[in-house]
Amino acid sequence: MPDGGYVSRRLLQLVMPIFPDRRMFRIHDPDADLVTLGGPLPPVGVLVSAGREQLFVGSLQEDIDVRLVLEEWDGQPMLPDAWDEEGKARLYLRGQLSVDMGSAGTAVSRLRLCGGVGNYEVRVYARHREAVVQMYDDLFSQHKDPLSDDFQREKRKLEGVERYLVQLWRDSLCRYGGARPVPRQRPVGACRVGGRLRCRRLRSGCDGCPSPRLRDRGRAARAARAGRARVRRAAGLRCRRLRRPGHGRRGLRRGFGRRDGRLGGRAGRRLRA
């Protein structure tokens, strides 16, 4: 791995014997509907046959146990050595996984995954598949009675010789180099408006903002608003709307008029007298 590159880590490893039912076993989500239409076909002549939530792994044995190594990684692992066949698939798992052997029962039930809910990339490797088939056929030529002790003893030696390696990792974790990005913490009392951090209490910042830039910007904005207010007070305008003669309390005191159309103040009193 070059300098600066990311090396994925193995989070989980299980080694277990598997008794293939009808020359296959299944890896699936525990809550998946296994009998629904549109599922994967049996792996005849291939190593894997996958659907959205379940995966069939094909085997060449139906009388001898095989060995399964199940691994979970936090990113895409390096390619292993000394494996004869390889298959790839993609599964949607809800944070758990089960391994079903059909009529032989369940090897693993609801194994909790560290990656959680999401899409998982799956690699399946196999070796010694055809070699075990040939050695098992040779036992019948060497021993005439399959129920004899010698035959059973030689048969037990073949158990676990055919091996499978299943590696899976979360798809989203692999995109970020094996770890999810940590969300950026926003300042207390601040929100994002127009792509910039701005204070919630004032439009341009406040003294409570932890950012010095926002705090200085808020002080400048308040000073500018205070200056505009002083200019309006000096001009006799207490609000942005211009006052017209005859409207408001100031117009009544100065005799500009009344709202009913008559003159107000001293001029009005003289005319009415």
Q: Tell me the CATH number for domain 10-175.
A: 2.60.34.30
Q: Which residue has the higher pLDDT, 270 or 102?
A: 102
Residue pLDDT, tens place only, 191-212:
444 444 444 444 444 444 555 6
Residue pLDDT, tens place only, 37-55:
667 888 888 899 988 889 9
pLDDT winner (highest mean) among 69-73, 113-117, 242-246: 69-73
Give pLDDT, residue 193: 42
pLDDT-based confidence at 69, cuts 50/70/90? very high
Paired tokens of 135: 């050695």
Give pLDDT, residue 39: 78
Give the closest residue to 49 by CA, choosing from 84, 85, 18, 90. 90
Least confident of 92-101, 132-141, 153-162, 261-270: 261-270
Paired tokens of 192: 């994002």
Residues 6 or more apart in contact with residue 163 via CB below 8 angstroms? 66, 67, 68, 69, 126, 127, 128
| 118: number of Cβ within 10 Å | 15
Q: Encode 214-251: b = buried (16+ Cβ within 10 Å), e = exposed.
A: bbebbeebeeeeeeeeeeeeeeeeeeeeeeeebeeeeb
Give pLDDT, residue 80: 87
Q: What angle do CA 50, 30, 98 make, to 5 degrees?
A: 70
Q: Write down the pTM of the prediction.
A: 0.59
The Cα-based distances of 55 to 73, 147, 163, 231 in angstroms read 18, 35, 17, 77
Q: Which residue has the higher pLDDT, 29 or 250?
A: 29
Give pLDDT, residue 205: 43
Give pLDDT, residue 268: 57
Q: Which helix (H) or strand (E) holds 156?
A: helix 149-157
- Mean local confidence (pLDDT), 71-87: 89
The Cα-based distances of 143 to 96, 108, 159, 220 in angstroms read 45, 35, 18, 98
Q: What angle do CA 183, 188, 193 make, to 5 degrees?
A: 75
Rounded mean pLDDT of the chain?
Answer: 75
pLDDT winner (highest mean) among 28-32, 79-83, 164-168: 164-168
Give pLDDT, residue 267: 55
Least confident of 60-64, 70-74, 121-125, 179-183: 179-183
Residue pLDDT, tens place only, 103-154:
888 899 999 998 889 999 999 999 999 889 898 888 888 888 888 888 888 8
The Cα-based distances of 102 to 26, 128, 133, 184 in angstroms read 8, 23, 21, 48
Contact 116, 95 (CB under 8 A): yes
- Listed in sequence order, the DSSP H helices in 38-148 are 129-142
Residue pLDDT, tens place only, 17-30:
999 888 899 999 99
Q: What residue type is assigned to position 48 of the chain?
A: V
Which residues are 90's β-sheet partners? 121
- Mean local confidence (pLDDT), 6-20: 88
The residues spanned by each domain of the chain are 10-175, 190-264
Paired tokens of 2: 């070059």
Q: To the nearest 5 percent, what fractions of the chain are helix, strand and coil?
A: 25, 30, 45
Q: Encode 163-181: b = buried (16+ Cβ within 10 Å), e = exposed.
A: bbbbbbbbbebbeeebeee
